[in-house]
Structure 1
Amino acid sequence: MSDTLPDGGATAQPGGEAKAAPRVVRTRPRADGRINPTTEYSGLLSTVRDAGLLRRRTGFYYTMFAVLVLALGGIVTGFVLLGDSWFQLLLAAALGIVLTQFAFLAHEASHRQVFESGKANDVAGRTLANLFVGISYSWWMTKHSRHHANPNVLGKDPDIERDVISFTSEDAARSRGLYAWLTRRQGYAFFPLLLLEGINLHIHGFRTVFGRGKVDKRWVEISMLVTRVGLYLAVIFWALPLGMAFAFLGVQMGVFGLYMGASFAPNHKGMPLLPKEARVDFLRRQVLTSRSIKSTWLTDLYMGGLNYQVEHHLFPNMPRPALRRAQVIAKEYCATHQIPYTETSLLESYGIVVRYLNRVGLSAGGDPFDCPAASAYGR
């Protein structure tokens, strides 16, 4: 059997909705008494496929898109009617929320969740990401595909690479001076720093499309990004006084960055890290490094389906409306195969993230600290 890691949070017990879950496919041991990891995942995949949970739900996505377009239209109308008023900042915050929801749809299109056709998903995702949200679809696809293939794997997952925030003690130990001071307090600084994440996402997008690396549909993305950002800035600075225009942009970008980061961060931060050379099968690699959030209709809406993170990683092309039923199946399957399934409340997950980052930050400036990945493997 492949190596496994201990759980990094609260372990949920199997449970589900009143509606009966489909029968879970059982896997048979090999002659040596062990179960083939590939067979384990195949059994789970067969169960969700037989339940019809991989069927496309285009009606849901058309409805979501229509609602968001209406919301965007309402914000634009309010912007025109309000004119020179500081109440525009409320609309800026609303715009940040709506753009994040558009980003969720682009994310789902990138996973082929929306349409059967890969081309249709790419067209939708590229249009939503570049023309509506203002970030590069190609940059997102490259980065996010690497993350899904190796979640929380050191040296492979770009989401845990060192940036302003350090996710490993080794990275934190390289911090010096003012940077080390910030790193030692990075857990507390994490959410305030997310206010700048919107700007960071836009910068990464432009650096990608104008860079030398391979970019699919480069000129399409350039034209979309330049049109979107150019028109947006032109309207803001034409319609509002200079100071108010900057304030509008600051609020919109701050809300967008905070909302995006607060939706993605709970999913893996503080969960076990895997060494680059670790041999962990697909099922365990996805489950043990992911954290789902206890779900209500509000968290479903707020997180755009990311609250079902374990299921999203196990079945990345599963449409959002099917994830709740898939969770019932996945929990039962993990319990049957003795694979820890992690689920916490949203607020608990934020607390875990803050404490984890502060703990990692203790190594800033070269202070000794046990690496979370090494500790997990007893090294």
Structure 2
Amino acid sequence: MGTVGTAAVQRGSDFARLSRRIAEAGLLDRRPGYYAARIGLVAGLFAGSWALFALVGDSWWQIPVAVLLAVAFAQVTLLAHDLAHGQISRSRRTSRMAGLLVGNLAVGLSYGWWMDKHTRHHANPNHEEHDPDVAPDILIWSQKQAEEARGIPRFIGRWQAFLFFPLLTLEGLNLKVSSFRALRRPSLKSRGLEGALLTAHVLAYLGAVFLVLPFGTALVFVLVHQACYGVYLGCTFAPNHKGMPVLTAEDELDFLRRQVLTSRNVRGGRLVNTALGGLNFQIEHHLFPSMPTANLRRAQPIVREYCERLGVDYVECGLFASWGQALRHLHEAGRPLREGAPSPGGAAGA
């Protein structure tokens, strides 16, 4: 076996028993009232941020507005995430159309591309060969990847833990570039519609900013907004898996263990829950991705008790501790590059 050890064995019925308990508790039922309220609040934040932008006008006070708008963009993106998982509507068509409006048009993120990428992540979280979120595009996530790294990942990998947060400032731009690049893929559904909505977003966004603000102020506004948006998203998604065991082809795990052992929950009250869009209950989300966000908190004690009874590690910690674990993991993964010698280990665990 690989990172998670030889004790992990296939027990397909374990998840089936847990799933029955969750279903009997009604936790897979839709929550239309919750989502109606949440959509209304997020829409109000999004529209209100743009209204405040227009009201402030030509002023350097637009910089705080750019930060507020970044929060609004991130919350809209989290709604697109819930749509992609079918948490809001059972209708795939309704979810897709809403996702295109929320993702492509509102924040400039290709809903189809991101949904495909995120689905592959859920199927094999933290798996070196199959999870696109741990592909060594810029950062490296294991010592095995470090040994094989070339080009930019090899250059950055030495000190990637120190560069992680600065690099997140580019994530907003990276998502937009990746969205437009995805339009070249024949496998992407409705490429014409996706492209038209992405183009409309860029034209409306840049048009509004450069129409209201002079060039220099507008440029700073865009840079601050996109940087804060990227950092917010990175700080939302990074605590969930980074620093947890990295799986390889040697790790043959059943569904329950594959999801639980590679995920981490983040403790916190309503503020953390709201800021992270419910993704702080990452273990429950990965086990039941279509479960409405509002039900994840209620599912947690059931899942935690069940995992403890099975002897499956159930990891949770505070937000800052989760970031610390992620950064230590990144630093350890880059150790072979700093030492300039092959590493005896394949994957860096938490």
Q: TM-score, normalised by structure 2?
A: 0.94
Matching residue of 1:216 = 189
C-alpha contact (below 8 Å) 1:4/1:284 kept by paired residues = no
The Cα shift of 1:126 comes to 2.0
Alignment of 1:184-263 (within 5 A): 184-209=158-183, 211-263=184-236
Q: How far, CA to CA, are the matches of 2:76 and 2:266 in structure 1?
A: 21
Q: How far, CA to CA, are the matches of 2:232 and 2:150 in structure 1?
A: 30
The Cα shift of 1:5 comes to 1.5
Alignment of 1:254-293 (within 5 A): 254-293=227-266
Matching residue of 1:5 = 4
**Which of residues 297, 310, 313 is equivalent to 2:283?**
310
C-alpha contact (below 8 Å) 2:160/2:334 kept by paired residues = yes
Q: Is the partner of 2:104 in helix, strand or coil? A: helix
Q: Does 1:345 align with 2:295?
A: no
The Cα shift of 1:375 comes to 7.7
* Larger Rg over CA atoms: 1
Matching residue of 1:327 = 300
- Runs of 4+ in structure 1 displaced over 4 angstroms? 174-181
CA gap of 1:372–1:59, structure 2 versus 1, over 3 A, is farther
Q: Deviations over 1:133-188 (max 9, x none)?
A: 11101110111111000011121011110021111213223456886453211011
**Which of residues 101, 105, 125 is equivalent to 1:151?**
125
The Cα shift of 1:374 comes to 7.9
The Cα shift of 1:112 comes to 0.5
Q: How far, CA to CA, are the matches of 1:230 and 1:361 in structure 2?
A: 40
Q: How far, CA to CA, are the matches of 2:20 and 2:2 in structure 1?
A: 24
C-alpha contact (below 8 Å) 1:174/1:364 kept by paired residues = no
**Which of residues 117, 140, 146 is equivalent to 1:166?**
140
CA gap of 1:337–1:69, structure 2 versus 1, over 3 A, is same
Q: How far, CA to CA, are the matches of 2:96 and 2:190 in structure 1?
A: 10
Gaps of 5+ in 2: none
C-alpha contact (below 8 Å) 1:4/1:280 kept by paired residues = no
The Cα shift of 1:271 comes to 0.6
Q: How far, CA to CA, are the matches of 2:40 and 2:168 in structure 1?
A: 28
The aligned amino acid for 1:155 is E
Q: Deviations over 1:203-228 (max 9, x none)?
A: 0001112x133111212211111111
CA gap of 1:75–1:157, structure 2 versus 1, over 3 A, is same
RMSD of the TM alignment (CA)?
A: 2.1
The aligned amino acid for 2:280 is N
Identity value in percent:
41
The Cα shift of 1:71 comes to 1.6
Q: Is the partner of 1:307 in helix, strand or coil? A: coil
The Cα shift of 1:373 comes to 3.0
Matching residue of 1:109 = 83
C-alpha contact (below 8 Å) 1:271/1:291 kept by paired residues = yes
CA gap of 1:179–1:304, structure 2 versus 1, over 3 A, is closer
Gaps of 5+ in 1: 7-33
Q: How far, CA to CA, are the matches of 2:130 and 2:329 in structure 1?
A: 20
Matching residue of 1:24 = none
Q: Deviations over 1:32-73 (max 9, x none)?
A: xx9972211011000010101001112211211111221222
Q: Is the partner of 2:347 in helix, strand or coil? A: helix
CA gap of 1:179–1:223, structure 2 versus 1, over 3 A, is closer
Matching residue of 2:332 = 359
The aligned amino acid for 1:272 is P
